[in-house]
Structure 1
Amino acid sequence: MTMKITSIRQGVVPISSQIANAYIDFSKMTASVVAITIEAGDGRQATGYGFNSNGRYAQPGLLAERFIPRLEEAGELAAHPDGGFDPIPAWTAMMRNEKPGGHGERSVAVGVLDMALWDAAAKLAGLPLWKLLANRYNGGKADDAAWVYAAGGYYHPGKDIDGLVEEMKRYLGMGYSTVKMKIGGSPGMAVREALLLDLGRIEAVLKLLDGDGSRLCVDVNGRFGLHAALSYAASIQGFGLRWYEEPLDPLDYSTHATLAEQYVPPIATGENLFSMVDARNLIRHGGLRPDRDILQMDPALSYGLVEYLRTLQMLREHGWSARRCVPHGGHQFALNIAVGLGLGGNESYPEVFAPFGGFATGVPVQDSRVRMPEVPGVGFEAKNELYAVLKDL
């Protein structure tokens, strides 16, 4: 049986918010959304949806000028050996005439389309995406639930330590037992001054968590140089935090290796690496430790699931377990991947980046774990606010 793409539509929607991390604010952030309709040789058809994760802007130009036309010109596509739609030939068609390297924004545009292709593939199969992935790539085994943590603690005008603690208290009330907060967002301050301020914020949240550092992650968003990263590391090492996230520029591998020699607890990074090759360089040269550190590559930003499958294979070859992967982005696509391919969990945004973050409407979080509904595809139709945006395509 052959498959054919019959329609591709795109749009741009705002995900702006008056919040900031240590590096950027999100007041003008946008996202691309796409809808792809695929028709099977037997006349069945399905429409899949896709969008890009927060932190990168919409890509209407790249989509319209290069990647959508290539998909439209792909013609008939070979089916997967199981008889269903296979996104890999479509992905190959998108990447025709693209040189290696230069992954920045191109990987985002391809990732948007890739998400829609996988959503359509699962719908044509009549399966949730997590189940399709388990069947094709994980011997039919899927996790019962995914571990998730509440990402927040952003800087906001007028928000003090009491406001931060109240935010974290809300997340605990939603069923999360692990939370994440931003640090390093005090521009203009000397390192020592900023560190003292952040230590007060961290200690306040730890008090809420009964002193259990394993329930708290801190995130620098790549702001620090080596001196600041080491100064913070020395001060927080005794807290036993779940992880110290993206303390350094994501491409500065040798400096990561230096930090890993000094900071014993887990380090997390990778959300701003957008290809298997960049991830491989991190594994080869970043000094990370496969028994404790966390890899956060986001399939929606890094050429999609087709490339992410290559990344997982590379990790296995280098002695890393998929359980060390906890993707950035907080979206249903990565949640399906986590459950179907046996990752270590997924990020969640309970209060920011609506309507793209979060899970199907009415699905509860219990002790930082969430079960997947039996909805064909990624499950966008079961997330009311998000589907209200996507269905307009």
Structure 2
Amino acid sequence: MKITSISTYHVEPRWLVVKVSTDKGIVGFGEPVVEGRARTVETAIQEMSNYLIGQDPRRIEHHWQAIYRGGFYRGGPILTSALSGLEQAMWDIKGKALGVPVYELLGGHVRDSVRMYAHCHGETEETLGATARRRVSAGFTAVKLAIDGPAWPIESPDWIDAQVARVALVRDIVGSNVNIAVDFHGRVGPAVANTLIAEMRHLRLMFVEEPCLPDNPSAMADIAHRTTTPIATGERLFTRWQYRELLETKAVAVVQPDLCHVGGIFEARKIAAMAETYYVSVAPHNPLGPISLAACIQLGACTPNFLIQEHPTLDDRSDIGHGILVDPFEIVEGSIAIPTGPGLGIEVDEDALEKKKTNGVWESPTLRHGDGSVAEW
């Protein structure tokens, strides 16, 4: 089997899909994207295609090593995200060629369904409360909300009280049998993060995500060692090498590899195995589309220390495949049954992709403090 062509689709709202075709008529799909830099990633895919076209797509690990190590400069969001989507597509091809789901090639399933958590948004108490009620009514047993931005590295008591009140509101609505995670999104410094976590302790959070930016593992570890609230991070990290220090310093209770950024399905499985030796759980990051979700479900199916899967919860349900997949995913009582179809377990509607194509332009929001300086998003 040989790869004959590699093509890409920019898809609403901000997704990039890669299609890898072979001379046997088997095609694979992946989702490689850096939000706000989709066209840059597309260029990286085209450059990697020079190596991949003519190669046997079933030699996934060999090609991963050749692309990652062969360029001398390695890692980072652009190159690793491009590689991630191509890797997903090659697993899709290999599973289809063998007639089995990807998780069967990674040891077989260890669970029958994958638990999901939904995003919980709302600028006012009324809209936040309404969203929380919808998520619980839809059957989700876990939700996540973010602290307000922009935020100063050192914040006022009023701002801190307001963040605690927002989470307390959601807790009152969902009750004690639903998990709540809070995403700090790296918006505050470690000093404020410590205060916020302490003030939210009574709300018994599932985890706090990115209490500070993840590029200083010692700062993250200091936060983790001051609290009993589980700390999660990893969406902005690439490959297993960037996770090593977080694990060695006991900075996290939950790692959050993004399968569209971290290096793909198998790289995320390697990170999960590393985390397992430190008794750390895995909750893959996913604010993207249904192909990304399909890859995540394959990982969750075969990973013993899997905790829960992020779900963007878009109103048009395109995030679970409506308008993109022939058979969209179904969330039943907050979980998705693991698929039994080959490869990623999905069939992409290419005509639908064509209808949803865009020019790939999407800019990440840039927040400003009151004095005009740039704030963390």
The TM-score with structure 1 as length reference comes to: 0.79
Counterpart Cα distance in 2 of 1:273 and 1:230: 22
Counterpart Cα distance in 2 of 1:206 and 1:272: 28
Q: Hey, what does 2:68 align to over in structure 1?
A: 95
Q: Hey, what does 1:301 align to over in structure 2?
A: 261
The amino acid across from 1:201 in the alignment is R
Q: Residue deviations 1:259-304, cap 9 Å, x none?
A: 112111211111111111001121123533xxxx211111221121
1:351 pairs, out of 314, 328, 331, with 314
**1:1-393 equivalent positions in 2, closer than 5 A:** 3-15=1-13, 30-39=14-23, 44-52=24-32, 55=35, 57-58=37-38, 59-64=41-46, 66-72=47-53, 75-77=54-56, 85-95=58-68, 97-99=70-72, 101-129=74-102, 133-134=103-104, 136-138=105-107, 140-153=108-121, 159-187=123-151, 190-210=155-175, 212=176, 215-288=179-252, 293-316=253-276, 318-320=277-279, 324-329=281-286, 331-342=293-304, 343-351=306-314, 355-357=318-320, 361=327, 363-381=329-347, 388-389=352-353
Counterpart Cα distance in 2 of 1:390 and 1:338: 30
| Partner SS state of residue 286, structure 2 | coil
Contact 1:12 1:60 (8 Å CA) reproduced: no
Shift in Å, 1:99: 2.6
Counterpart Cα distance in 2 of 1:69 and 1:254: 40
Counterpart Cα distance in 2 of 1:362 and 1:62: 29
Shift in Å, 1:248: 0.6
The amino acid across from 2:303 in the alignment is L
Q: Hey, what does 1:18 align to over in structure 2?
A: none
Counterpart Cα distance in 1 of 2:99 and 2:330: 24
Counterpart Cα distance in 2 of 1:101 and 1:333: 23
Contact 1:273 1:279 (8 Å CA) reproduced: yes
Shift in Å, 1:54: 6.9
| Partner SS state of residue 2, structure 2 | strand
Provide closer, same or farther for how the CA distance between residues 391 and 116 of structure 1 changes in structure 2, counting only shifts above 3 A. Answer: farther
Counterpart Cα distance in 2 of 1:98 and 1:357: 35
Counterpart Cα distance in 2 of 1:47 and 1:309: 23
The amino acid across from 2:217 in the alignment is Y
Counterpart Cα distance in 2 of 1:358 and 1:236: 35
Q: Hey, what does 1:20 align to over in structure 2?
A: none
| Partner SS state of residue 200, structure 2 | helix
Shift in Å, 1:214: 5.5
The amino acid across from 1:206 in the alignment is R
The TM-score with structure 2 as length reference comes to: 0.82
Counterpart Cα distance in 2 of 1:369 and 1:49: 23
Contact 1:206 1:213 (8 Å CA) reproduced: no
Shift in Å, 1:11: 2.8
Q: Residue deviations 1:364-393, cap 9 Å, x none?
A: 4333222123332223327x6x97227989
Contact 2:45 2:82 (8 Å CA) reproduced: yes
| Partner SS state of residue 380, structure 1 | coil
Q: Hey, what does 1:24 align to over in structure 2?
A: none
Structure 1: gaps of 5 or more residues: 16-29, 80-84
Q: Residue deviations 1:294-349, cap 9 Å, x none?
A: 11111221121232233234334x4336xx11100152211111013332231112
| Partner SS state of residue 45, structure 1 | coil
| Partner SS state of residue 338, structure 1 | helix
The amino acid across from 1:287 in the alignment is A
Provide closer, same or farther for how the CA distance between residues 54 and 358 of structure 1 changes in structure 2, counting only shifts above 3 A. Answer: farther
Provide closer, same or farther for how the CA distance between residues 373 and 391 of structure 1 changes in structure 2, counting only shifts above 3 A. Answer: farther
Q: Residue deviations 1:188-233, cap 9 Å, x none?
A: 69332221211221111111112x2861111111112111101101
User: How many pairs are equivalent?
Assistant: 345
| Partner SS state of residue 227, structure 1 | helix
Counterpart Cα distance in 2 of 1:13 and 1:314: 34
Q: Residue deviations 1:49-78, cap 9 Å, x none?
A: 1113674631122122x2121112xx343x
Counterpart Cα distance in 2 of 1:90 and 1:204: 49
Provide closer, same or farther for how the CA distance between residues 367 and 355 of structure 1 changes in structure 2, counting only shifts above 3 A. Answer: closer
Q: Residue deviations 1:83-106, cap 9 Å, x none?
A: xx3422332343352236542221
Question: Alpha carbon RMSD of aligned pairs, Å?
Answer: 2.8
- Bigger Cα displacement from structure 2, 273-282 vs 100-109: 100-109
Structure 2: gaps of 5 or more residues: 288-292, 358-377
Counterpart Cα distance in 2 of 1:95 and 1:353: 36
